[in-house]
Structure 1
């Protein structure tokens, strides 16, 4: 069982489960609150939990040991995450979770495209077929007849 904890697949599946729970909990949680304020509350909770984890496990690093490039890209990632969360909560406030979440997961398609363009990653024909199916599936699940 310990070997399973060290695989990317295990953690990716947990990520998907928690992302699904995020949509459900958030949809209920934003019912009577402004979506931006709800995002702030969520962010504070995440900050406190991560601070506790880093402290408890001794994973903190001296800030001077981190390169400027790393800081730049982590800051850009944080800004993108914040923008994503604000947009996601606003979409959840306005729409159904079962429709919002699949469109949000078009990020999977965009990561594949951006990975090829910006990171030089290579996808096989089968991989591109999977990307196309994810895109089509997200649109079909979100489609309201």
Structure 2
């Protein structure tokens, strides 16, 4: 199992879709799945703060947050203020992770059941067994 370390840079990819967690170059706001290219908008500085974890883009310096109330389908977006997240190993494959909004059943979800098309949104969605909600962290 990969142990996530605070203060490290990671490439994060969706287990089902195979796409990288990407800060959209189109609007510099949307968090999407996109084919791996290794650019700074696909590299995330992961840091433990207080009681949760933050994800900061090396490309823009912005953090992963949400747009709107926390519910199924709420998109992840770049924000100036950090949002704290919980990171837990997946129960079925503890080498992969789920990222939750604290105190909710909502976790990161590559939309459209893990659609690998470039630009597919990453949203919050209630936890279920889908691999489109699990993520692979590779340190850089």
| Same fold at TM > 0.5 | no
The structure in which a higher percent of residues are strand is 2
The structure in which a higher percent of residues are helix is 1
- Larger Cα Rg: Structure 1 or Structure 2? 1
With structure 1 as the length reference, what TM-score do the two structures score? 0.25
